[in-house]
Amino acid sequence: MSTRYVYVLALLALAHPALAAEPDDAVQLWNGRALDTVRQKRASDSDTARLVAMLNVAMFDAMNGIVSRGPFGREQALVPNDGAPLFADFSAAAASAAHAVLVGVFPDQAPLYDGLLAGDLAALAGRPGVHAGQVWGDRVGAAVVAARANDGSSPVETQPAGSGPGVFRAAWSGVQYRNLAPFAVADPSVFVTAGPPPLGSLEYAGGLAEVRVLGNAALPDAAALATFQYWSLAAGTDQPPGDWIRIALEVAAARGLGIYERARLAALVSMALADVVAPLNATKFLYRHWRPATAIREDATAPDPTWSPRGGGIGGTPEHTSGHSAFGGAAARALAGFFCDDDIAFTHVSDSAPNGEARTYPSFSAAAIESSRSRILGGVHFEFSGAAGLEQGRGVGAEVLARKLLRKIGPRHFGSCPL
The dotted CATH code for 158-403 is 1.10.606.20
CA distances from 292 to 210, 321, 384, 392, 409 (A): 10, 13, 12, 21, 51
Which CATH code, of 1.10.260, 1.10.3470, 1.20.144, 1.10.10, is assigned to 3-147?
1.20.144
Residue in 104, 109, 3 with CA at minimum distance from that of residue 51: 104
All CATH 1.10.606.20 domain ranges of the chain, comma separated, are 158-403
What's the one-letter identity of residue 236? G
Task: Count CA within 13 A, CB hemisphere, residue 252.
Answer: 28
Per-residue pLDDT of the chain (419 residues; tens, 9 = 90+): 333 333 334 344 434 444 443 445 899 999 999 999 999 999 999 999 999 999 999 999 999 999 987 677 899 999 999 999 999 999 999 999 999 999 999 999 999 999 999 999 999 999 999 999 999 999 999 999 999 999 999 999 999 999 999 999 999 999 999 999 999 999 999 999 999 999 999 999 999 999 999 999 999 999 999 999 999 999 999 999 999 999 999 999 999 999 999 999 999 999 999 999 999 999 999 999 999 999 999 999 999 999 999 999 999 999 999 999 999 999 999 999 999 999 999 999 999 999 999 999 999 999 999 999 999 999 999 999 999 999 999 999 999 999 999 988 766 654 456 55
Taking the complete model, does pTM exceed 0.75, yes or no? Answer: yes
Residues 21, 223: Cα–Cα separation, whole Å: 39
Residues 392, 236: Cα–Cα separation, whole Å: 26
All CATH 1.20.144 domain ranges of the chain, comma separated, are 3-147
**What one-character DSSP code corresponds to residue 160?**
P
Residue in 43, 49, 42, 132 with CA at minimum distance from that of residue 96: 132
